[in-house]
Structure 1
Amino acid sequence: MTQEPWFLSRPATHRPLSASQPPGQDPAPLDNDGDRSLYGVVLPLAATSVLVLAALLVLLLLLARRRKSADDGSGPSIVVYPSARSGGPQFLTKEIRFSLPSLRQAASLSDLGPNASDPESDMDTDSLVPVSSGHAQRSNSFSCYGLGAIDPALYHGTLDLEEDLQFPEGHLGRLWFSLRYEPSTEKLLVSLLKAKNLPSRTVASANACDPFVRLQLFPDERRHLQSRQKKKTCNPYFDETFVLQVPSKEVGDHVLKLSVVDSGRSKRRGVIGHVTFPLSDLPADSEQQLFKMDLEKEPTEKTSDLGELLVSLLYNENLHRLSVTVMAARRLKFQDERQDSYVRVTLNQQYRTVKVKRTSAVKGTDSPSYSECFNFRVPLAHVDVTSVGLHVHQAVSGYGRDKLIGKCVLGSYMFARGKALSQWNTAFTSPMQPVQHWHALCE
């Protein structure tokens, strides 16, 4: 009969005290089966604890080695996939060096950038010449047209930028700008570069000027574009590009006007001067052309040799009614001794005559008084496309045709300029208030 193994033996149980055993005497000792069962539980637990401690020790060693390699400055390893000969992946560390190329310097355009030796140079404005700096230069140029930075090759032989600037007495300033027309897209690109020698508001101050440039396209452009304002400088740098839509068939009929305005001169923003450039003088090729032109004063209105006409405007915004009163005329130039005249008034919308009215004829004087009022319906939505034409005629007796002495046009920016435009705008911005002006007659 075989003996049962020790780890399968039953644990010993306590035996109760027998009645014959005297009190105070120890019970009989247990057998060895209880000790063997205790060893079977403790030994596996001890082995498992040793394995766990060993694994933790290995993990701590790996972490310490990785931290030491990071402190030494070595970067992360690059994994190189094994070839057919090698058995496993290889880990290599390699330093990659690179350098950024330097930006292009436009040395030939030193006249465009602010000069450090020039005490009147505007150091707060953005430079047109790109320099190697940590930040990018700001520009409003259209990158799709390649007008961001000034390229000297585009202006080769067009303008000498290194010349000595000589300004005569009473000079209003000089403006640099470039033009390019693209027939494929029918776009005119105007790049404002800079202005120099602008007059200062205060005689004792050198940079008391806050200029900006206003762009207008004559004759049918109703709105204008405007550059950013430069503070406290008589030599501003703009570096801005504007796009104007001009049909190819009408390029030669337009004139570009650039007006330099000092916003701090008065509340009405006094105009320093302007330059005009007929687009018919623009070369046919699509290359960009650089120009410099001196500013000129706006020509003063001269007294017409044909005579003058006094007109009053009044607008009723509730009834949408424009009242045109032909009051009087003076110094009319008649073609013969007969001095009989009348005024024909026409209401036009988008160059199309809508209504025609006329005054009574006044005889025997070159300074007649008409004093007649005509009412026209003009909604506010149609103000910008409406004009009023006044034609002074010499009345001819018999069956002859009346002769035109002169005319004037009152209307929006699309049709009128000067006093005619100012009176028109004032009448609609100040309704129910009559506004009257003398207007010189033209042929």
Structure 2
Amino acid sequence: MIDFSTQDLSFGEIHLLFSEEIEYCILGVSATIFLVVLCLLIWQIYRYCTTLSVSQRAADGLSAKSGGFQYATQTRETKLEVLNRHQMSPGSSYTTLGSSLDLTLGPDEEHAQGSLRFSLFYDQLQSRLVVTVLDAQYLAVRDFSLSVDPFVWVRLLWAEREEKDQSSLQCVLHEWQTRLVKKSCSPVFGDQFSCALDEEEVSRVTVRFEVRDYDKYSRYGILGETRVSLNNLKISYPLELRHNLQVPKKDMVGEVLLSLKYMPTSQRLEVGVLKIRTVSHPTKTERALYAKASVICNQCKLRHQRTTQRKRWEMTVFNEVLTFLLQDPQIRECSIIINVYELHPAQKSSRLLIGQIHLEKGSTSENEHWRLMMQSLRQPIAKWHFLLI
């Protein structure tokens, strides 16, 4: 019989109007709920600590890469300052080489983690060079996903002169791409590429390997590169090598004579593509060139135009002016990227990037052209620029 009579409540004690069995049930349920809440609280604390640790590691990685970008930029600026001390005219001598501006920032030399294993073989009977990309190890991640989707871009660079020095131009003979390996810092590729190459040309060739990270929504990132010159290298038998990845460098593949003119009243920027000097392998069939100019502002492409196609010569003359309508705030913040492409007349859908020029407002000698344009409004200012890849 449950007693429902009213009982006095004193301070510090509560008298329940239930039987003893129901009181024990309520206490048991309360204890169970308390333990469940305590477990959830411990689990949330554990997740918070784990996430904080992972975020700290990711931030450290990005900080290291940011430092690498500054190093790479300073290196390129230093080289271009040396280059522009010389007269920028075809046939002039160069003291420093600068290399694929279509990529995002590269890591610092001491932070360019990982290595690449590959093999080289020259088949003298068939006059073919065989390049095999085997695997990579300990690649660095480059974003908060803490993963990397690597692939390798292989380029064969052919030098204009027998002894490849800093004054010789180069051209891309062939380029290949390995398969993509998702979410692996130590991917295994096993991809093999080959091309016909005369034995006397082997000494002029440099094989350049770029390890890139695939990005579906942005430009590919570069994790590092390694290169090997075939000069005095014994590859009559398969030679297997493993190289540590280094900071990407630029290769000079030509020169472009550009003119810049800005008219503030009509807010018009005129980019003149006058001449393009390149070097091409003698065995290459007839090719065509064209240039594409893009205006970039706050990492966004505002406008772009391209020249007509011209038959490729050692000195290809265009004499074309590309006009962009830009307001005054945009002209002070934007930059210009000139891409030069090679086309095969019989295969108009396929194109090959020859090189790139990046013009922007800055303090380096390479960007001196921009400053001269802003100081001499309504007047075309012409200057030679190195074409890099």
TM-score (norm 1): 0.34
**Bigger relative contact order, structure 1 or 2, given CA contacts below 8 A and separation 6+?**
2
**Structure in which a larger fraction of residues adopt strand:** 2
Bigger proportion of residues as helix: 2
Query: What TM-score, normalized to structure 2?
Result: 0.39
* Higher gyration radius (CA): 1
